[in-house]
Amino acid sequence: MRIKCLSIDDEPLALQQIGAYIERTPFLEAVALCHSAFEALKYLANNDVDLMFVDINMPDLNGMDFVKSLMKKPPIIFTTAYSEYAMDGFQVDAIDYILKPISYAVFLKAANKAKRWFESNHKQEETIQTTADCIFVKSEYKLIRIHLSEIKYIESSNEYIHIHLINDQPITTLIRLKVIEEQLPKDKFMRVHRSFIVNLDKIKVIERNRIIFDHNIYIPIGDQYRDNFQAYIDKTFLI
């Protein structure tokens, strides 16, 4: 597993250095280099990342306020030239806090700390068993059989997913959305957002780039997934 990293720094040379360090580290992957917090927010609206390197002292929206604004926070390593921010960094559960100028040795030490965090938090991740029309997932120490036809949509929440059913309570299990996405039949289920997979057979109403289920449940269609979903609509529905 390679850890997908996003880096934010308003200083181009510092950003370039972090990007080079990430590419130099075998278990890391640089997926986005952002020059501002706003650029990072735009990327995160449609993409998942595993780890963020965040400069604190940035104009308009500083790194600390940026992290506090996130509903879904990936692990953070703060980078800054100012040591007085260290306490604030650990108050938002940052994995590490490294001071500029940053040597590769210091960077690698922080990266290894993040790697240990990921190994610890993913070692108990459950696997999925599948049949032609069912999946089996573990939830609260029980193995539960779920018919695919009973699933309305699946929602990601940090390290967990919530499987929302037609006539029952959601089932929560410790697994990444990507893992279950790979196991579901592609002609029946589609990922429409970084946090949602929908059962295509259960879609009845689409409005303003949202899928509307019962009880005013609105599933957004993310920019990254819109073309694929539109192709399905064009093929399936009479317009």
Structural domain harbouring 134: 129-236
Instruction: Report the distance separating Cα 31 and Cα 80, nearest Å.
Output: 21
- Please enumerate in sequence order all residues whose Cβ is within 8 A of that of 20, keeping only pairs 6 or more positions apart, or say none: none
Q: Mean pLDDT for the chain?
A: 87
The pLDDT score that the predictor gives to residue 125 is 52
If one counts the domains in the chain, the total is: 2
Q: Specify the residue for token string 């303003």.
A: 208
Q: Do 158 and 213 have their domain in common?
A: yes
Task: Give the Cβ contact number of residue 173 at 10 Å.
Answer: 20
CATH of the domain at 112: 3.40.50.2300
Grouping H, G, I as helix, E, B as strand and the rest as coil, residue 181 is helix
Q: Do 83 and 182 have their domain in common?
A: no
Q: Do 58 and 105 have their domain in common?
A: yes
Closest CA to 171 of 155, 189, 190, 158: 155
Q: Do 9 and 115 have their domain in common?
A: yes
Q: Do 176 and 104 have their domain in common?
A: no
Residue 239 has pLDDT above 60, yes or no: no
Token pair recorded at residue 40:
């990072």
pLDDT digits (tens, 9 = 90+) for 108-136: 999 999 998 887 766 555 566 777 789 98
The pLDDT score that the predictor gives to residue 176 is 82
Q: Do 79 and 166 have their domain in common?
A: no
Q: Do 96 and 148 have their domain in common?
A: no
Residue 1 has pLDDT above 80, yes or no: no
The last residue of one of the domains, among 90, 122, 154, is: 122
Q: In what order do the strands lie in the sheet with 205-207?
A: 205-207, 210-213, 217-220
Token pair recorded at residue 51:
């780890």
The pLDDT score that the predictor gives to residue 126 is 53
Phi, psi for 220 (deg, rounded to 5): -70, 150
Instruction: Report the distance separating Cα 198 and Cα 132, nearest Å.
Output: 18
Q: Do 100 and 136 have their domain in common?
A: no
pLDDT digits (tens, 9 = 90+) for 7-30: 999 999 999 999 999 999 999 999
Q: Do 106 and 137 have their domain in common?
A: no
- Whole-structure pTM value: 0.57
Phi, psi for 152 (deg, rounded to 5): -90, -55
pLDDT digits (tens, 9 = 90+) for 37-65: 999 999 998 888 999 999 988 888 888 88
CATH of the domain at 145: 2.40.50.1020
State mean pLDDT over 192-217: 89
The last residue of one of the domains, among 122, 151, 170, is: 122
